[in-house]
Amino acid sequence: MTSVSQVAAEYEVVIGLEVHSQLLTESKMFCACSAAYQDAPPNTTVCAVCLGLPGALPVMNRKAVDYVIRTGLALGCNISGFTKFDRKNYPYPDLMKGYQISQYDQPIAYGGRLEIETETGIKPIGVTRVHLEEDVAKLFHRTDEFGDNYSLLDINRAGVPLMEIVSEPDMRSPDEARSYLTQLQSILRYIGVSSANMEEGNFRCDANISVRPLGSPEFGAKVEIKNMNSFRSVHRALQHEAERQVRAVNEGEEIVQETRGWDESAGLTFTQRTKEYAHDYRYFPEPDLPPLVIEQGWVQDVLRVLPELPAARKQRFMHEYGLPEYDANLLTIVKATADYFESVVSLSEASGDALEQLAKQVSNWMLVELGRLLNETGREISEIKITPQGFVELLALVSEGTLSTSMAKTVFEEMFVSGKPPAEIAERQGLVQINDVDKLGNAVDEAIASNPKPVSEYLEGKEQAVRFLVGQVMRITRGKANPPMATQLLKERLDALRQSE
């Protein structure tokens, strides 16, 4: 099979993404029904408006507009001062009214960009537009005991606010498309407008892809791929489709503009329908809604509550805390992680090198130990029981030598479960490192007395023999000895022995 990398020398892949993301409003887009359709029993969150009954009139959800403005600003878009809704007509049983209220030629936001990371550095991807529309009902296709097909309809989802974010055809590989989606998801979650979860179906991606001979100024005909339900399947589908198109072109076939479905288990795309054109939808302005005027004051209000975005925060983490890019990246993808990190670090009054050292320690503990515990328990960082205060105290216990690193890991695990302060846990579990010279001295004497062979080896000049003896001290103290201190004491006593010989 020809791989994309093999053909990259002759062909260029062109990708543009259309993402639909549900907005986290309490009520639906044009009625007062609850938008929380996921856990509601089928057909319980419905009314005359979202059922599409004749005579019912839509009322605009201001919060949804607010969220699209917020998204537009986060993506560096212009916000339209004047916008409107349009009817997009198409016959399909999941569409209660026979048309969807959407936005055609005057989206709320347009002309933005999203920066992604590629192997060669940061690359801006154009954001064509962000517009607002309504989600459709859900169909469940079934087969009865006689083998006849039928469909069940759950209307709860109909009318849930849906935002569409359309990119420019600026991506040049499946990897870039995946970076775009990851970055977009992170931003939408940061600004709190969507839970942006592809597996749960509230973040959906249609991927448009074409290939062209390298250096060609024109784009090839694009194919739109649908039905992917994870970032991984988007990547796989694009990879597969790029290869299919290159093979087809090489065999002299013409690529036709069409919509293809992705079959996850077969790992291939298949023709669904030849692509419809805008005129097929017979768009016209929605007569039941007034145009929407977005005053500058509204935009300013939204701008004021916009949080620092992940890319900016990552850069700040690198500058302010001296963190490596790798750490800064992992700590800032999820807002709650970055917030937690800063709530720990900000408890310290350290500055300069000391602050950077602390930041790196906190980062290590978060990315390694905490990351593992969250993974194992399937918990979210937002539910974490370890208080920032406890976190800092634990690090202090390690740096002052009260706890060894391995003891600290045990304490950390217990803190993760109970949220108790580290000193209390360490005491209850008897996990305090022996730093007391007298106490440690007894163990050192015992180790020397009961291991004459390594002792004489050391005395004869084999310095490494001390390592075995340190191991013995650790065994005698059941791991509680402070190893550098034990080493030092052992050497002092052995050297004294040597002199007295």
Q: Which residues are at the interface with Zn ion (CB under 5 A)?
A: 31, 33, 47, 49-50
Q: CB of 94 within 8 A of CB of 50?
A: no
d(CA 238, CA 16): 11
Q: Which is nearer to Zn ion, 35 or 465 (CB)?
A: 35
d(CA 214, CA 433): 65
Distances (CA, A) of 247 to 11, 12, 147, 255, 415: 11, 13, 38, 10, 57
* Shortest spacing between CB 394 and ligand ADP, in angstroms: 48
Q: Decide which of ligand ADP, Zn ion, none touches 446; Cβ closer than 5 to 8 Å per partner kind.
A: none
- Per CB under 6 A, contacts with ligand ADP among 61-80 are none
Q: Which is nearer to ligand ADP, 272 or 451 (CB)?
A: 272
Decide if residue 284 touches ligand ADP (CB under 6 A): no
Task: For 40, list phi and psi in degrees, rounded to 5.
Answer: -80, 145
Which residue is listed with tokens 């259309």?
Answer: 18
Q: Decide which of ligand ADP, Zn ion, none touches 31; Cβ closer than 5 to 8 Å per partner kind.
A: Zn ion
d(CA 290, CA 493): 90
d(CA 160, CA 64): 10
Decide if residue 16 touches ligand ADP (CB under 6 A): yes
d(CA 158, CA 51): 8
Decide if residue 166 touches ligand ADP (CB under 6 A): yes
Q: Decide which of ligand ADP, Zn ion, none touches 344; Cβ closer than 5 to 8 Å per partner kind.
A: none
DSSP bridge partners of 116: 123
Stretch in the footprint of ligand ADP (CB under 6 A) among 139-147, 150-158, 167-175, 305-313 = 167-175
Decide if residue 455 touches ligand ADP (CB under 6 A): no
* Shortest spacing between CB 126 and ligand ADP, in angstroms: 8
244 Cβ contact partners less than 8 Å away, ≥ 6 residues apart: 268, 269
Decide if residue 167 touches ligand ADP (CB under 6 A): yes
Q: Out of 136, 181, 209, 426, which residue is the one contacting ligand ADP (CB under 6 A)?
A: 209
Q: CB of 463 within 8 A of CB of 426?
A: no
Q: Out of 7, 17, 177, 447, which residue is the one contacting ligand ADP (CB under 6 A)?
A: 17
Decide if residue 173 touches ligand ADP (CB under 6 A): no
* Shortest spacing between CB 255 and ligand ADP, in angstroms: 10
* Shortest spacing between CB 233 and ligand ADP, in angstroms: 18
Decide if residue 140 touches ligand ADP (CB under 6 A): no
d(CA 355, CA 347): 11
Q: Decide which of ligand ADP, Zn ion, none touches 47; Cβ closer than 5 to 8 Å per partner kind.
A: Zn ion
Task: Tell me, letter by letter, the H, E, C secondary structure of 326-353.
Answer: HHHHHHHCCHHHHHHHHHHHCCCCCCHH
Decide if residue 15 touches ligand ADP (CB under 6 A): yes
Decide if residue 237 touches ligand ADP (CB under 6 A): no
For residue 121, the tally of other CB atoms under 10 A from its CB is: 7
Q: Which is nearer to ligand ADP, 22 or 208 (CB)?
A: 208
Q: Which is nearer to ligand ADP, 167 or 186 (CB)?
A: 167
Q: Is 320 exposed, middle or buried (0-12, 13-18, 19+ CB in 10 A)?
A: middle
Stretch in the footprint of ligand ADP (CB under 6 A) among 97-105, 182-190, 204-212, 421-429 = 204-212
The tally of CA atoms less than 13 A away on the side-chain side of residue 125 is: 29
Q: Out of 18, 263, 356, 446, which residue is the one contacting ligand ADP (CB under 6 A)?
A: 18
d(CA 405, CA 357): 16
- Token reading at 161: 């606010």
* Shortest spacing between CB 269 and ligand ADP, in angstroms: 14
42 Cβ contact partners less than 8 Å away, ≥ 6 residues apart: 152, 154, 156
* Shortest spacing between CB 51 and Zn ion, in angstroms: 7
Q: Out of 27, 173, 185, 210, which residue is the one contacting ligand ADP (CB under 6 A)?
A: 210
The footprint of ligand ADP on this chain (CB under 6 A) covers a number of residues equal to 16
* Contacting positions for ligand ADP (CB under 6 A): 14-18, 166-169, 208-210, 219-220, 222, 278
